[in-house]
Amino acid sequence: MSVVGSILGLYLFKQPFSFTALLGMVSLMGIVVNNAIVLIDYINSARKDGESVENACFKAANRRFRPIILSTATTIIGLTPLVFSGSNLFRPMAISLMFGLLVSTLLTLVIIPVVYSIVETEV
């Protein structure tokens, strides 16, 4: 999910797919996994409290929306100076992180609860 956003960002800013861009994508994987863990942990907590699968998924997306969006926003704001600094070394890394994080955050808030709901309903 996030790789598509990273490649799109590199294409839009006309940046090469370099080692630092790849390093940004690897760093991005850790952030994406953390966001998914936060969401799934809340779903599991709600399920232990007796919530239905659908209600637990809805509550998790609703309650964890702000923390996930705020951590994404602070990361993107923190990387913005690297994009516009003129550094050819760090620009691809910052762009791949920023765009990958944008795409993956939006998809994480939608895809994780939907897939969890489908998998738990079938099991």
How many Cβ atoms are within 10 Å of 88's Cβ, its own excluded? 11
Rounded to whole angstroms, how far apart are CA atoms 51 and 108?
21
Pull the structure tokens for residue 69.
Answer: 């969006």
Residue 94's pLDDT is: 95
Q: Output the CA–CA distances (angstroms, integers) from residue 45 to 14, 19, 102, 119, in the order listed.
A: 44, 40, 27, 17
Q: Output the CA–CA distances (angstroms, integers) from residue 23 to 86, 95, 105, 108, 118, in the order listed.
A: 19, 11, 19, 21, 33
Residue-wise pLDDT tens digits, 52-70:
999 999 999 999 999 999 9
Residue 78's pLDDT is: 95
Confidence of residue 123 (pLDDT cuts 50, 70, 90): low
Ordered by start, the domain boundaries in the chain are: 2-122
Mean of all residue pLDDT scores within the chain: 92
Residue-wise pLDDT tens digits, 5-51:
999 999 999 999 999 999 999 999 999 999 999 999 999 999 999 99
Residue-wise pLDDT tens digits, 82-115:
999 878 889 999 999 999 999 999 999 999 999 9
Please give the CATH number for the structural domain made up of 2-122: 1.20.1640.10
Rounded to whole angstroms, how far apart are CA atoms 90 and 79?
10
